Amino acid sequence: MLSRLVEFALAQRLVVLLVTALGVGAGITAWRQLPIDAFPDISPTQVKLILKAPGMTPQEVEQRILVPLEMELLGLPRQVQLRALAKYAIADLTLVFEDGTDIYWARQQVAERYAGVRDALPAGVEGGLAPIATPLSDLFMFTIEGDLSLVDKRDLLDWTIRPALRTVPGVADVNALGGRVRTYEVVPDRAALAAAGVTLAELAAALEVNNQNDGAGRLHDGEEALVVRATGAYDGLDAVAGVVVARRDGRVLRVADLAQVRFGELAPLGAVSKDGRGEAVEAIVVGLRGANAGAVVAGVRTKLDALQPSLPPGVTLNVFYDRSELIARAVGTVSRALIEASVLVVVLLLLFLGELRAALVVATTLPLAALGTFLLMRLTGMSANLMSLGGLAIAIGILVDAAVVVVENAVERLTGDEAQRLPRLHVIYRAVTEVAQPVATGVFIIALVFLPLLTLEGLEGKLFAPVALSIVFALGASLLAGLTFIPVLASLVLRAGPHREPWVMRLLGPAYARLLAACLRRPAPVIAVAVVGLLLASGAYLRTGKSFMPTLDEGAILVQLTKLPSIDIQASLALDQAVQRAILAEVPEVKSIVARLGSDDLGLDPMSLNDTDSFLVLAPKQDWRVPDKDWLAARLRAVLARFPGIEFTFTQPIEMRVAEMLTGSRGDLAVKIFGPDLAELDRLAGRIAAVLEQTPGASEVFTVHNDGVQYLQLRLDRLAVGRAGLDAQALQRELRAQVDGLRAGTVLEGNKRIPLMVRGEPRLRRDADALAETRIALPDGGSARLADLARIERMAGPIKVDREDGERFAVVQANVAGRDLVGYVDDARARVAEAVPLPPGYRLVWGGQFENQQRAAARLGLVVPVALGLIFFVLFATLGSVRQAVLILSNIPFALIGGAIALWASGEYLSVPASVGFIALLGIAVLNGLVLLTHFNQLRAAGLPIEQVVYDGARRRLRPVLMTAGIAALGLVPLLLQTGPGSEIQRPLAIVVLGGLITSTALTLLLLPILYRRFSAAEARP
């Protein structure tokens, strides 16, 4: 079949050229239309349910909201996990579904179950499904700068900027943080209420029922129809103040008689500070799941530019995070590697072929394979990102293998006597068909060795499946070009006749011939060296640490601060700003800091008031005193260590979200303790954290001490409450109005919807004794002190309640530095088992990045042998000999020698990228062995004696073997030397392949002839 394909291509050269031109055009179009992002979409199918429960403590949120919802939502079809979090006034549920589940189907399932239990939830609970986004959807962040108050800035964001940005295609929502949300505020005069005998409930009811417009229908007036409209909605403070609440003794009591009406602010659940100078207002543009991040950011920037003239004078938008910058750096890293590798490949081709025409013919494979890959990526819905383009960069040296063997054989035949006797087209046909089968088999085998990457699960599967697919796409395109377009181009460009052998081969050929002859005369030392190499590689492998994935440098630092659980929002803000001032004063590499504490507006990241995420805007790396991120982190640690009572950890924006997305927590290692009692969970978490801190390799160990939040608890005296003519619900409503505020409606101002709140005096929120002395209006017109209706006591309680699949748990997080992750976990497990005995009913789960590493290692350990078995069958089908198939596979362990030793010597860990490098090395080693062995069989079939077969055959295939190995190695050199985002993933892979190619090539050229002479001569096919 391959011969007929080559024959058709050479017989219909014009057709092949036209089809190739069309393919080039389609590939260019596909490249322009490809979505571009920094990373592939690594998020699982997740549905978030976010509910706000004003005034509820974490335990009440758990008991009254989470538990009923869990009972309804557990057991959904295709559900993998249900995580739930209860914090003050917020319930956050995350449902994880199997990969491949349609997000809209999953949301429908959750919505149906939620609808079934919604009526059973407490009154006042609001919320629902979160936007269709992923934890990695934070694409664009900015603050509003200018001489506006925090209220005005928030108004501008909520009612002008946010609605405009939501019209940009691909934007799921815009998250608002910081500032103050303006309200119409009614502050009751307790004495006036008591004197008038009006309860707070009557005041709130009057406000609610007097705030609406309505239509009464049409009225006929002659030939005209009049639409009857009754307006009663509030249009300002005076309208609210003029509402009649009650009549007493013929006297009308208005709101203004009983309360003060003014503009106020909602009680903030979080805040944003900037550069230690004060509070700020921040917006985060959240991208829609599956949206083209680059296009979304470009659309957002265009919309903001259009909005700028309509903003108040002096107001600007300060962008401090733009995902497109990371995309440009990450894609630029790979693009530079691709260009540099292509140049190196062309130079090497010229050196080995010694003819510019032949080198250029082979080099055309690179753009054709790349464009073919882009076309297939577009058709399969892939995006151009660090991993998919990285796969192309990895394969750059392999893509020319088919063309190298074809053109090298064609050049060899065109310089021989055959070219004088036969037409050039026929010579090209013979040269191509002679090597078509081993080339096709070799490329198929290389594609086959990457198939295990498609079976990986979780994060590693989503990261490396694009690598495998882009390599397979590129190999397929290069093989098709190598058997169709390349022969056609060679027939048009290459010249027949003798030409001088290139100087590289004149230098290497005789030296190799002498070395090969010596090895064939004395094979024992060669075998001994190979065995010693295997032993050394085994030792290096055992001494190499194991990790999941190198940390990607996103070019940003995010510092997470944790303070005392009972800290007030203003004190927390003051501490954040003190930290910011210290960092900016002492670390000039940090140009700006934007920090947020507490919960965001959408509830996508509900933190407590003692938690702060500080985004550090860094100067360009060339301006750093020492251009090293670890050095910078050490300087920051030195500053932060001077602030007592603060725990801190370092992470990056995407890294943090990935960790939260996969495990519900942050860190390289997450130890989850499951059990029923919160106090016992907190105690165990503290002890485990202490053990992890003492384990060598821990850089930051962190656990939330889940007690210490101060509660002012009012235990109602039921007899006293009943005697006063009240009930528990009425009294609780009164208390909420006094402290947090009670919603009594909405005031419309154009397109703005301003909450109308009934709220107590500010002094009540600053003084517990004043709250206890508050007079509560009674239905009979009297009043009673709050302290007479309830026993008031101060007590400590939990910050939050974490749940997973219906069980409570606590988590201890650890980051590991200076040591491999697996070794650290093994050590920590032993220490924890010895030092922290678990009570009955409690269990540990070791997760985080460690869990990912264990899953990836187990899956590769299963599928790589299967892939080797498939390769064996392909080799057997090609060679027709079990012995020869085994002989080629025996080249694999010797190829791994250099990779294992290079990995250990470089100090890198055996991570998933390094494992991918070993997989790539496996394919190259098999290809080179197949090229050499196939030629041995051809010479043997020609009747040559075995000694001449191995000697002449090895010499004849020296150039293609060196070219394939050298080109593959040089193609990876740029990846080894790159320093941009993503280079951390590519470097271990390049180290393994480069080290392995050295030993693989040497042993292919020296050991394989010896083994063939010893084991396969008798089975060579006639």
Last-in-domain residue among 651, 682, 699: 651
Percentage of the chain surpassing pLDDT 90?
Answer: 18
Q: Is residue 76 part of a domain?
A: yes
pLDDT of residue 302: 93
pLDDT digits (tens, 9 = 90+) for 296-329: 999 999 999 999 998 999 899 999 988 888 888 7
pLDDT of residue 981: 66
pLDDT at residue 792 tops 70 = yes
- Residue 168's pLDDT band, with cuts at 50, 70 and 90, is very high
Say yes or no: 913 and 980 in one domain.
yes
pLDDT digits (tens, 9 = 90+) for 764-774: 777 788 888 88
- C-alpha distances in Å from residue 840, one per residue of 11, 20, 50, 534, 674: 79, 70, 33, 48, 11
Last-in-domain residue among 111, 132, 153: 132
Q: What sign results for the dihedral spanned by CA atoms 230, 234, 237, 243?
A: positive
Distance CA 656, CA 76 (A): 28
pLDDT digits (tens, 9 = 90+) for 461-473: 887 888 888 888 9
pLDDT of residue 155: 92
Say yes or no: 488 and 511 in one domain.
no
pLDDT at residue 917 tops 70 = yes
pLDDT of residue 1022: 41
Average pLDDT across the chain, whole number: 83
Question: CA 578: distance to chain centroid?
Answer: 32
Distance CA 162, CA 175 (A): 8
Residues 6+ apart with CB under 8 A from 89: 52, 53, 54, 55, 56, 61, 269
Query: CATH number, domain at 9?
Result: 1.20.1640.10
Please measure the distance between the N-terminal and C-terminal CA atoms of the chain and give it in whole angstroms.
21
Minimum mean pLDDT range among 88-97, 783-792, 921-930: 921-930
Residues 6+ apart with CB under 8 A from 231: 213
Say yes or no: 517 and 578 in one domain.
no
Q: Is residue 210 part of a domain?
A: no
Better-predicted residue by pLDDT, 47 or 441:
47
The label of the residue with tokens 């985080």 reads 848
Residues 6+ apart with CB under 8 A from 595: 272, 273, 274, 561, 576, 580, 612, 613, 614, 615
pLDDT of residue 876: 83
Q: Is residue 461 part of a domain?
A: yes
Nearest CA to 737 out of 295, 87, 193 is that of: 193
pLDDT digits (tens, 9 = 90+) for 64-96: 999 999 999 988 999 988 999 898 888 989 999
- Per-residue DSSP letter, 384: B
Last-in-domain residue among 585, 617, 651: 651
Distance CA 919, CA 864 (A): 8
- Residue 666's pLDDT band, with cuts at 50, 70 and 90, is low
Say yes or no: 397 and 535 in one domain.
no
pLDDT digits (tens, 9 = 90+) for 359-413: 788 888 888 888 999 999 988 888 888 778 877 877 777 787 778 778 877 777 7
Q: Is residue 297 part of a domain?
A: no
Say yes or no: 470 and 441 in one domain.
yes
Residues 6+ apart with CB under 8 A from 11: none
The Cβ-side half-sphere exposure at 789, using a 13 Å CA radius, reads 25
Say yes or no: 506 and 396 in one domain.
no
Better-predicted residue by pLDDT, 780 or 269:
269
pLDDT digits (tens, 9 = 90+) for 249-265: 778 889 899 899 999 88
Say yes or no: 526 and 410 in one domain.
no
Segments in 815-957 forming alpha helices (H): 821-835, 849-879, 882-889, 891-906, 912-941, 946-956
pLDDT of residue 108: 93
Say yes or no: 610 and 524 in one domain.
no
pLDDT at residue 995 tops 80 = yes
Minimum mean pLDDT range among 70-84, 110-124, 604-618, 669-683: 604-618
- C-alpha distances in Å from residue 170, one per residue of 131, 455, 758: 12, 30, 39
Residues 6+ apart with CB under 8 A from 217: 227, 228
One-letter-per-residue 3-state SS of 26-51:
HHHHHHHHCCECCCCCCCCEEEEEEE
Question: CA 298: distance to chain centroid?
Answer: 21
CA triple 172-174-175, angle to 5 deg: 120
Q: Which residues pair with 670 in a beta bridge?
A: 813, 847
Segments in 880-911 forming alpha helices (H): 882-889, 891-906
Q: Which amino acid is at 968?
A: A
In terms of C-beta density within 10 A (0-12 exposed, 13-18 middle, 19 or more buried), how is residue 90 classed? buried
Q: Is residue 911 part of a domain?
A: yes
Q: Is residue 258 part of a domain?
A: no
Say yes or no: 446 and 468 in one domain.
yes
pLDDT of residue 497: 61
pLDDT at residue 633 tops 50 = yes
- Residue 1021's pLDDT band, with cuts at 50, 70 and 90, is very low
Say yes or no: 428 and 463 in one domain.
yes
- Residue 1020's pLDDT band, with cuts at 50, 70 and 90, is very low
Residues 6+ apart with CB under 8 A from 33: 378
Q: Is residue 549 part of a domain?
A: no
pLDDT of residue 417: 60
Better-predicted residue by pLDDT, 642 or 195:
642
Distance CA 721, CA 728 (A): 7
Q: Is residue 647 part of a domain?
A: yes
pLDDT digits (tens, 9 = 90+) for 871-900: 888 888 877 778 888 888 877 787 788 888
pLDDT digits (tens, 9 = 90+) for 721-737: 888 888 888 888 888 88
pLDDT of residue 500: 67
pLDDT digits (tens, 9 = 90+) for 542-573: 777 777 767 777 778 889 888 888 888 889 99
Kind and range of the H or E run holding 80: strand 79-87
In terms of C-beta density within 10 A (0-12 exposed, 13-18 middle, 19 or more buried), how is residue 426 classed? middle
8 A C-beta contact, residue 400 and residue 362: yes
Token digits of residue 826: 């093994």
Better-predicted residue by pLDDT, 939 or 803:
803
Count helices and strands in the chain by DSSP H and E runs: 40, 30
pLDDT at residue 667 tops 70 = no
pLDDT of residue 756: 92
Better-predicted residue by pLDDT, 922 or 146:
146
Which domain covers residue 72, as residue numbers?
44-132
pLDDT at residue 948 tops 80 = yes
Nearest CA to 931 out of 882, 899, 898, 964 is that of: 964
Say yes or no: 481 and 514 in one domain.
no
Token digits of residue 562: 């944790």
- Residue 418's pLDDT band, with cuts at 50, 70 and 90, is low
pLDDT of residue 715: 87
- Residue 184's pLDDT band, with cuts at 50, 70 and 90, is very high
8 A C-beta contact, residue 989 and residue 857: no
pLDDT of residue 732: 82
Output b/e per residue, 570-607; b: 16+ Cβ within 10 A. Answer: eebbebbbebbebbbeebebbebbbbbbbbbbbbbbbb
Say yes or no: 505 and 493 in one domain.
no
pLDDT of residue 987: 81
pLDDT of residue 660: 67
Percentage of the chain surpassing pLDDT 70?
Answer: 96
Mean pLDDT calculated for residue range 201-223: 85
Q: How many domains does the chain have?
A: 4
pLDDT digits (tens, 9 = 90+) for 2-29: 788 888 888 888 898 999 999 999 999 9
Residues 6+ apart with CB under 8 A from 992: 899, 902, 903, 914, 917, 918, 920, 921
Nearest CA to 774 out of 187, 185, 191 is that of: 191
Minimum mean pLDDT range among 170-179, 566-575, 751-760, 957-966: 957-966
Query: CATH number, domain at 126?
Result: 3.30.70.1430
Q: Which residues pair with 265 in a beta bridge?
A: 182
Distance CA 592, CA 193 (A): 50
Distance CA 959, CA 970 (A): 16
